[in-house]
Structure 1
């Protein structure tokens, strides 16, 4: 029964600090829940196109983009933000 460890990049930390308090708290709770799952992909949506290999965590109107490292049992939060803007850099 292996659990994943969640790490937050410096960029994602900056993103989270700029979010409204309720959104930041909602994402933090979702991060904690992810760490308890054996297969975090159950709660994540795979991204497509240029972002293939990355995953999205949804909480209300806010999203976090993550990368999964199965060999290290690690989840890396790359960025966080509002759903209207977070996907722009990944569009083809």
Structure 2
């Protein structure tokens, strides 16, 4: 009876180990599911910022002290990071 119980527990432990092995993928998929709507929402903004930089390159310099430009740079960096993150997933 003890041997049977040990066998059952070993099977259960193996099942838990398989679940643990899948856990990082589950979290990655869930993170990507939450990230996709954000990327879709901010993609037009990134394109607009890119277009603004093409039209007004002197105003879009990262070294400028205007608050606008700081926000633009941060948005661009954030969007670039999110896009790289999405491609790597």
Report the TM-score, using the length of structure 2 for normalisation: 0.27
Q: Which structure has the greater CA radius of gyration?
A: 2
Which of the pair is proportionally richer in strand? 1
